[in-house]
Amino acid sequence: MNTNYLEPDEIYLFNCGELYHSYLKMGAHIIECNSLHGTNFAVWVPEALKVCLVGEFNNWSSTDSSMTEIGTSGVWSIFIPKVLHGKLYKYEVHTKNGKVFLKSDPFAFYSEFRPATASIVWQLEGFSWQDQVWMKQRGVNVQEMPLLIYEVHLGSWRRKEDGTYYNWRTLAVELLGYVISLGYTHIELMPIMEHPFDGSWGYQLTGFYSCTSRFGNPQDFMYFVNQCHLEGIGVILDWVPGHFCKDAHGLGRFNGSPIYENDENEQWGTYNFNFEKTEVWSYLISNAIFWLDRFHVDGLRVDGVSSMLYPDYEKPKHSWKLNINGGRENLRAVAFMKRLNEAVLQNFPDVLMIAEESTEWPLVTCPTDENGLGYNFKWNMGWMNDTLRYMGLDFPLRKDNHQLLTFSMTYAFSENYILPLSHDEVVHGKKSLIGRMPGEYSQKFSGLRSLYGYWMCHPGKKLLFMGGEFAQFIEWNEEAELDWFLLEYEMHQKLRNYVRDLNKLYCQERALWENEQDWAGFEWIDVHNHQQCILIFCRKALETDNFLIILINFQPNSYVNFRLGVPKKGFYQEIFNSDLSIYGGSNHINSSLVRAEKVAWHGQKFSITINVAPLAIVILKPIMNT
C-alpha cells in the first residue's frame, strides 16, 4: 500500500537542505494510516528506476513491495499495514542501467550486529526519561564552569570475562560509577553509531542514525544517558559528518552512482560527503539534532573538521581544485558548518558543539553572525603537540626547547579551547603518555604527574583518554580491554589517586576555570627560566583575592628556599603538591604556611621561598585573613 506520509512542504524542505527533523518522517515509522496500524518507509534514492522494500516480513521478496516516488523528489515511500517493530529489512534499488543493489536504510534507528548488515524497524518511543532537572540546568554558561571530560572507547574500556562487550545498562553502573569516583564532569564516547569494522574505532560509519547494536538497543542507550544525568554527568558523542564507510550496504553509490558523496577520502579509505547536495545537508543536520533530541545527548565533538574545510587537507599538492575565489577552502562545507551550528543553537541552545580542528582556521568558536563557524569549543591541537613533544625530550634537551611550553599562551584566548590528551596520542607508535616520559621508572611517573598538573592549570577545558588516569604503559588497543591489572601495582594506583585529587582540585578552585577567556585570568610570574626548566604563573578567579600561584619544575632537580614572586602580602598555603608520598613522590613539600616578604622578585612586589621537588607541580593559595 502506497501513501504519502510526508507532506509536500516537508519534501520541499528536504530537497532544499532545510528539513532538520527529517528523521521524524524518513526511514521506518510505525504509524496509523486510514485507521490501519502499520509501518511507513521512506528513503531518498534520486534517479532510480525502481525501489522495493524487502525484509523478513515478506521473505525478502520484492514482489508486491515496490515503493512509490513522491513526485520528482527522489524520495520513495511505502506503507505496510503491519506493525513491524523488530523486523529486519533493506531497500532493493533498481538502477536505470539494469543493476540491482541491496541497501541498508540511511535513517534506520537500529541495525543488525556485525557482520550482518540489515536494518531493523525500531520504535524509539516509550522510554521514561527522569532527567528533567539536569536538562533544565545544563544551560548554565559552560564557559564559566569546570569542564573535565573522560574520553572512552566502549569496546575496549572493560569487557566481560569471555571477551564480549558490556551492555549499556551494565556500563550505566560500571563506567558511570568509575567516572564519578574520579571526579569528571562529562563522558565523551567515541562513535557509537553503527559501523562494520571494529578497527575503525567507530569513525567509518554505515548507520548514522543507528545506535550500534554492540552494546544493546536504543532504549538501553537512553537508559545510560538518563542515569548519567541523574548523577550529574554529561554525555558527549563523537560525530563524523565529513565522510562515511565504503561498504556495499552503506551510503556509497546508493543508486549506483554517487548521491551522498563526491570523492574518495584517500587518507581514511572512505567517501567524502558532497556538501554541494542540499539533501546531504538535511540528512546530516537532522542527524546531529536527532542525537540531541531523542537521546538527550549534551554535545557533539565534530570529527575531522579540517578535512572538511580544506579539500587538500593532508593530500598531495595539486590533487584538488581551487574554489571560485581561487582559494583552498571548501566553501560549501564552510556554509554547511555554519548552518549546522545555527540549527543546533536554535533547537538546543544549551548543548556543546566541539570542533576537532587542527589548522589555523580563524574564528572557529565565534558566532556565525560574527563571521565565525559557530562552535562552542575547539580542541587545542597546537598545545597538545607542543606539550607532548616537550615532555618526550630527555632532560638535558628541555632547556633549549622552553618555547614549546610557553608559545601556547600567545594564542590561548583566540578561541574557546579544550586541551585534549586524546586517543590519537596513544596509538600508531606514538607510545602511551607515560611511555613518552624520559628517565627511570619513578621519574616517568613524576614526569606524568607534572604533565597532568601543567595541563590542569593551563587555560582551557580538559579531556583525558581512558587509561591515562592510571598510566597504562602500552599503547591503546581497541581489540582488548585496558590493562586493569596494573592497578595491583602501587605506583599505578597512586597515580590514579593523583588524577582523582587533581580533578577534584580543578572543580573546586574557581581560578582554574572561571576566568579564562582573556588575560584577566592569567599572569606570567616567571616565563623565562629555561635554564632550570621552571614555569611560574598565576591563575585568577573573578573575585579579586581568589587566585593561585602555580610552579612547575620540569627537571629532576630539587630546590630548598626557592624564591618566587607573589602579587600580594600575607600568608600562602600549599594546597597541592604532586610530590606527596600518597601520589608516589618523595614528600619534598611545604607543610607550613609561607609568609610573603616585601622582597621584590619576578616583577612582583612580594616574594616567598618554598621547597621544590624534582619534576613536581606546587600550587599555592593566599590566606588573606591570617
Q: Tell me, letter by letter, the H, E, C secondary structure of 107-165.
A: CCCCECCCCCCCEECCCCCCCCCCCHHHHHHCCCCHHHCCCEEEEECHHHHCECCCCCE
Query: Which residues neighbour 205 within 8 Å (Cβ) at sequence distance 6 or greater?
Result: 191, 193, 194, 195, 240, 244, 245, 250
- Classify residue 561: in a domain, yes or no: yes
Answer whether residue 335 is part of any domain.
no
Structural domain includes residue 77 = yes
**Alpha-carbon gap, residue 334 to 368, rounded angstroms:** 11
Predicted local distance difference test score (pLDDT) of residue 316: 65
What is the C-alpha to C-alpha distance for residues 531 and 399, in angstroms, rounded to an integer? 5
Q: Is residue 600 part of a domain?
A: yes
Please identify, among 120, 154, 171, the residue that sits at the C-terminal boundary of a domain: 120
How far is 369 from 384, CA to CA, in rounded Å? 30
Give the relative orientation of helices 218-230 and 168-182 as an angle to the nearest 10 degrees: 20
Please identify every residue annotated as catalytic. 303, 356
Domain range enclosing 68: 8-120
C-alpha cell at 422: 586524546
CB 454 within 8 A of CB 419: no
* Position 56 in a domain: yes
User: What's the total number of domains in the chain?
Assistant: 2
Residue ranges of the alpha helices (H) in 421-470?
433-436, 441-457
Cα–Cα distance for residue pair 52/2, rounded to 1 Å: 12
| CATH code, domain carrying 37 | 2.60.40.10
Per-residue confidence (pLDDT) for residue 369, from 0 to 100? 97
Q: What is the CATH number of the domain that holds 596?
A: 2.60.40.1180
H or E element that contains 224 = helix 218-230
What pLDDT sits at residue 41? 97
Q: What is the pLDDT of residue 34?
A: 80
Domain boundary among 86, 120, 154: 120
Sequence-distant (6+) residues with CB within 8 A of 395 are 438, 439, 533, 555, 556
Question: Which of 100, 120, 140 is at the close of a domain?
Answer: 120
All three cell numbers of 432:
602511551
User: For residue 218, is the peptide bond before it cis, meaning its omega torsion is within 30 degrees of 0?
Assistant: no
Q: Provide the β-strand partners of residue 549.
A: 538, 620
Q: Which residues contact 530 (CB under 8 A, 6 or more apart)?
A: 399, 400, 402
Q: Is residue 128 in some structural domain?
A: no
Angle between helices 381-391 and 441-457 (to 10 degrees): 150
**What is residue 319's predicted lDDT score, i.e. its pLDDT?**
63
Does residue 585 fall inside a structural domain? yes
What are the angstrom distances between the C-alpha of 410 and each of 110, 429, 451, 533? 47, 30, 20, 19
Buried b (16+ CB within 10 A) or exposed e, 197-214: eeebbbbbbbbbbbbbbb
Count each helix (H run) and each strand (E run) in the chain, helices first. Answer: 14, 29
Compute CA 427 distance to the chain's CA centroid, rounded to the nearest angstrom.
Answer: 17
C-alpha dihedral sign at 510, 513, 519, 523: positive
Residue 510's CB: how many other CB atoms inside 10 A?
20
Q: How far apart are CA 179 and CA 228, in angstroms?
A: 10
Q: Cα separations (Å) of 282 from 45, 159, 259?
A: 14, 37, 13
Pairing of strands 299-302, 352-355: parallel
Residue 361 lies in a domain: no
* Blockwise average pLDDT, block size 10, the chain, 626 residues: 76 97 98 88 97 96 93 96 95 96 98 97 96 92 90 97 96 98 98 93 94 98 99 98 95 96 84 96 99 98 95 68 84 97 97 96 97 98 98 98 98 98 96 98 99 99 99 96 98 99 98 94 98 98 96 98 97 98 97 96 98 99 79
Measured distance CA(620)–CA(596) in Å, rounded: 12
